[in-house]
Amino acid sequence: MNRQTADHATLADKFNEDEPRVDWHDQTLWWVRAKRDKMAWSIPEWEQLRETASAIKLNALGNLHDYLVQFEQQAIQNGAIVHWAADAEEHNQIVTGILKKHGVRHLVKSKSMLTEECHLNPHLMANGIEVIDTDLGERIVQLAKEPPSHIVLPCIHKKKEEIGELFHEHLGTPAGNADPQFLTAAARQHLRKEFLQAKAAITGVNFAVAETGEMVVCTNEGNADMGAHLADVHIACMGIEKIIPQRKHLGVFLRLLARSATGQPITTYSSHFRQPRPGQELHIVLVDNGRSRQLGREDFRNSLKCIRCGACMNTCPVYRRSGGHSYHTAVAGPIGAILAPNLDMKDYADLPFASTLCGSCSNVCPVKIDIHQQLYKWRQVLVKEGYTTAAKTASMKAMSGVLSTPAVYRTAGKMGRWVMRAFPGMVNNRLNPWYKQREMPAPPKQSFSQWYEKNKKS
């Protein structure tokens, strides 16, 4: 749906045309990061908690097959119907099949990044099925016909005035009213109707407990509960990496998730779905879509530990100043940049380069994914697999050649500095991206090595 041909740098360049808006976006997300810091500091054993979460996930990934089979058995015993989908296409077909069987033309969906990843909404629309996103942020971007720009805060790129206009157009709120409380109340009224009419509800899954076959869904709005409790058919869609071995492990993850995500101690709702109520059908769709391939990549395996808190996005200085849409994939930011190339190296070859490798993402990650190191490693993989340009390869080879031979390096340096002094226009021009908004360093007459040669005390 949101595949674009432009790369991150181009889209980020466009985003930066409106500098006050970039400032606003940056400050809004930094505020979330600051809230996260405050919450983390309220827990003295925070770092130990991260370490524990990381270890539990490592165990889960190392024994994924066994835990998945155990989960399936338990879920079936609980009365759920379990489906396995190898990829996005199969996932979408399974979901559509269930809906068609029940004659559902209209359904509600709470937040699920997996269904975004699989592009479920356009698939349903193409099959004549109307889907209403019930998470407020998701509903806003759905009305705006845009993809979410953030996995936890889907409409963080929109100002409240823009949301007011959108609601005026689609929900009939008074023009010019941008009061968040008023708009939220309007959305509640609108969504209530949708909840009451929906025959089916799709939810995501935050944690699937192998030991009990239950699923935990975390929301602040209770929209997953409202949908699942009212509908005749509940379809829970989850990536296979959402498994945790035991229920007690929730005591680690639920403490980390909301604190990392929004700086709340816990989400308003942490709802456990174990069995369908009498007369209801509960379907669970377990989706691979490249996850087992990623599990096989030793360097990138740990990326599957992700609990989708979005902390890496909020802290990322590049994300804050380029916006979620510049990543042109369902999961943006640093984590998206290490997940997306696994899905399609060609389409997402630009993303691991959309980083300064500052490492802040790895430090906030509640499950301690070495995100910035994986960005570095993806760069190596992408170049080796040929997803680079001939010009870049040529310039790197030339650079390597100069830097590998001290005499060539010295001559080139001397000549380069002389050219800069004698003909500053050669470098200080429009073709030099450095010079566009920055001055070049003033070239000195002698290099350090020339100075040393003259001044060393032998």
Minimum CB–partner distance for residue 25 and another protein (Å): 11
In 33-79, which ranges are E strands?
Answer: none
| Cβ–Cβ < 8 Å for 332, 341 | no
Of residues 182, 210, 187, the one with CA closest to residue 137: 187
In the complex, minimum distance from the CB of residue 436 to another protein, in angstroms, rounded to a whole number: 6
Contact status, residue 268 vs residue 222, Cβ threshold 8 Å: yes
Q: Which is nearer to another protein, 145 or 457 (CB)?
A: 457
CA distance from start to end of the chain:
69
Smaller CB separation from another protein, 105 or 414: 414
Say if residues 150 and 141 touch (Cβ distance below 8 Å).
no
Between 175 and 407, CB nearer to another protein: 407
Cα–Cα distance measured from residue 427 to residue 356, given in angstroms and rounded to the nearest whole number:
24
Q: What's the min distance (Å) between Cβ of 382 and another protein?
A: 6
Taking the least distance from each CB to another protein, the nearer of 145 and 436 is 436
Nearer to another protein, 356 or 429 (CB): 356
Q: Which is nearer to another protein, 180 or 444 (CB)?
A: 444
Closest distance to another protein from the beta carbon of 369 (Å): 13
Task: Report in angstroms how near the CB of residue 258 gets to another protein at its nearest.
Answer: 16
- HSE, CB side, 13 Å, CA atoms: give it for residue 53: 26
Work out the burial of residue 67: count CB atoms within 10 Å of its CB; fewer than 13 is exposed, 13-18 middle, 19 or more buried.
buried
Specify the residue, 70 or 342, whose C-beta has the smaller distance to another protein. Answer: 342
Beta carbons within 10 angstroms of residue 20's beta carbon: 7
Our CB check for another protein shows the closer of 6 and 125 to be 6
- Closest contact distance (angstroms) between CB of 182 and another protein is 33
Which class for 237: exposed (0-12), middle (13-18), buried (19 or more C-beta within 10 A)?
buried
Token pair listed for 379: 């760069």
- Distance CA(264)–CA(240), nearest Å, equals 27
* Nearest-approach distance from CB 57 to another protein, in angstroms: 19
In the complex, what is the shortest distance from the CB of residue 389 to another protein, in angstroms, rounded to a whole number?
11
Cα dist. 304→240, 334, 407, 434 in Å? Answer: 9, 13, 47, 37
